Amino acid sequence: MAARMSSLLLLMAFFGLFGHSCGSLPGDPRMIELTWRLENGMAHWPGMVPYNFTIVDRGMIPDGFYLELNNIYLAEHTGTHLDAPAHFIQGAWRLDQVPLQNLVGPGVVVDVRDKTRDNPDYEIGPQDFQDWEREHGRIPDGSVLMLRTGWGEWYWDQGETAYLGTDDGNTSLLHFPGLHPDGAQWLADNRKMHVIGIDTGSMDYGQSVQKMSHQILLPKRVVFIENVGHLDQLPITGSTVYAMPILIGEGSGGPARVFAIVDDRTSACSLTTSTVATVLLALSSAILYNMI
């Protein structure tokens, strides 16, 4: 009886240790922040109100306890934010109508920094996507497609002029890369992603007037994320990206918490399968032997 109990306890301990080693979520995933922090002085679109954070209380109050309380004032399209289809398309989904399942998907990063390094007005076209697919395979349906131009490096470090091209509110002076209408049309015709993100102030490049990439993709119920942060930390594939906006009723967009889950340890756990099978066989044999 004692031997039987020892074997059972050993089996339970093994399952506990193995389960713990692989984490409470499959593969003990790594979390990646893709959102810029909201704070006073951050870059904002010309003509929109700048973000303002005001402290109301921060300390002991007359009622005898410590309290922190703040007011914030901001435009919908502030910082890392989502563009709902209604932003440019009459009668389309507003922010509170976008289904949650459309805001989650496998992450894909198309890196065009070699094209934008000497050309702040570069527009990402069909060839960029076709080149990516030749190396990495087809962009999966339902994906969150991230366009990495390198402009995120300027978001805080170099100021608003470096990031947007101007800091005086003159939209004719905007200069930053974006998605070419031909690239938008190729995606609309050939791929079925739910979300497209970019590390610039707009999906269309800075000098765009008609914002044609918005007008091409938003009617397809594709949601945009603009001012995406930290794309240098996101792998080209192998992540799941979540884009969770504030639920603003009738909003054309809104600030969002965007993050990714990267399962770095899935392979490590899967490599133990043969070991698990061997140990289970040995333990099962021991239990059966002790039950005889």
Average pLDDT over residues 246-256: 98
What is the chain's mean pLDDT, rounded?
86
pLDDT tens for each residue of 51-69: 999 999 999 999 999 999 9
Residues in a beta bridge with 78: none
16's enclosing H/E stretch is: helix 2-21
* Residue tagged 């967009």 (tokens): 253
pLDDT tens for each residue of 188-213: 999 999 999 999 999 999 999 999 99
Average pLDDT over residues 80-92: 98
pLDDT tens for each residue of 96-153: 999 999 999 999 999 999 999 999 999 999 999 999 999 999 999 999 999 999 999 8
Higher pLDDT, 16 or 107: 107
pLDDT (0 to 100) of residue 161: 87
Q: Are 142 and 105 in contact (CB under 8 A)?
A: yes
pLDDT (0 to 100) of residue 265: 60
DSSP code per residue over 141-209: TT-EEEEE-SGGGGTTTSHHHHHHS-SSS-GGG----EE-HHHHHHHHHH---SEEEESSS-SS-TT-S
pLDDT-derived band at 25 (thresholds 50, 70, 90) equals low
pLDDT (0 to 100) of residue 29: 79
Which one-letter DSSP state was computed for residue 103?
A: G
pLDDT (0 to 100) of residue 169: 82
Task: State how far the Cα of 230 lies from the Cα of 241, in Å rounded to an integer.
Answer: 13
pLDDT-derived band at 160 (thresholds 50, 70, 90) equals confident
pLDDT-derived band at 167 (thresholds 50, 70, 90) equals confident
Q: Are 7 and 290 in contact (CB under 8 A)?
A: yes
Angle between helices 2-21 and 273-291 (to 10 degrees): 160
Q: Are 167 and 193 in contact (CB under 8 A)?
A: no
**Which residue in 271, 272, 262, 266 sits closest to 17, CA to CA?**
272
pTM score: 0.82
pLDDT tens for each residue of 113-127: 999 999 999 999 999
pLDDT-derived band at 154 (thresholds 50, 70, 90) equals confident
